[in-house]
Amino acid sequence: MDQITLNNDVKCPAVGIGTYMLSPEDAENSVREALKMGYSLVDTANAYVNERAVGRGIRQSGVKRGDVFLSTKLWPSEYENASAVDETLERLGTDYADLLYIHQPAGNWLSGYRLLEKAYREGKARSIGISNFEGKYIEALAKEWEIVPQFIQVEAHPYFTQKELRTFLEPYGIKIMSWYPLGHGDSALLSEEIFADLGRKYSRTPAQVILRWHTQMGFAVIPGSRNTEHIRDNLDILGFELTGDEMAEIAKLDRGARYYHRTDEQLEHFALWQPSYEKA
């Protein structure tokens, strides 16, 4: 498995299983089967309301906890809860997270980031990150952080390669973990001729070529699925390498096009919404 070395020398697998939009039952099954297949990165969040299921999937897999890189995110409603990290770890059934994020730049996000820094100092988080902090939000946080984060989780794909953000992150050594890595399943992206051509060359699907592009960009990637064949295919991307010329051709697809457009009203809603953890 390819590894990404973080700015604190912790190593993170380049490919993982995501659990966004998965029910507890599906998350449990997908995590269990993914780990059995050889995955070692698992991503979840308070807001996905499946942390307990993810913990069960890890335990059922038979893979040692120390061999799993477990990532989760605190939701804004937890940013001022001094027990938020311990409660999150309790739901997951572990005493530490390998990566702990704050999920949105909503509510008292600085208080939330202080919880991450405290967890890092106490050994409850081996690395920390920010999710969806771009533009003015990461600039504001950079003036306040005491510990530089290791990761940022944002939308990234060949139509939106996060050029501006990558320029900002480079001096800090902060890595990107991609969501919507396949363009939210957009048929236009998946049907681009270059991915069909490269798929034929390397005996891979267009989706596998795109996921390989992510890892060669230095991104960690966490596609989610409840389909075991798709989960298996998403891992089978490390046995080939795109050339420099091929990466340059894919770069031409960047049009700065997002699939998700967040509004200030949504951030206000995020600050007020409380996940129902009893369903997890």
Residue at token pair 């902060």? 174
Confidence of residue 276 (pLDDT cuts 50, 70, 90): very high
The pLDDT score that the predictor gives to residue 237 is: 95
Question: Residue 178's Cα: distance from chain center in Å?
Answer: 6
Confidence of residue 244 (pLDDT cuts 50, 70, 90): very high
- Say which of 39, 48, 120, 180 is annotated catalytic: 48
Q: What are phi and psi of 271, to 5 degrees?
A: -65, -25
| pLDDT (tens digit per residue) in 2-19 | 999 999 999 999 999 999
User: Where are the chain's structural domains?
Assistant: 3-279
- CATH label, 3-279, candidates 3.20.20.100, 3.30.499.10, 3.40.50.2300, 3.30.70.1170: 3.20.20.100
Examine the pLDDT at 278 and tell me if it is beyond 90.
no
For the record, the structure tokens of 73 come out as 């995110």
202 among known catalytic residues: no
Mean pLDDT of the chain: 97
Could you list the beta-strand ranges (E) of the chain: 3-5, 11-13, 16-18, 41-43, 69-74, 99-102, 128-131, 151-155, 175-179, 220-221
| pLDDT (tens digit per residue) in 31-59 | 999 999 999 999 999 999 999 999 999 99
CA distance 12 to 4: 5
| pLDDT (tens digit per residue) in 247-263 | 999 999 999 999 999 99
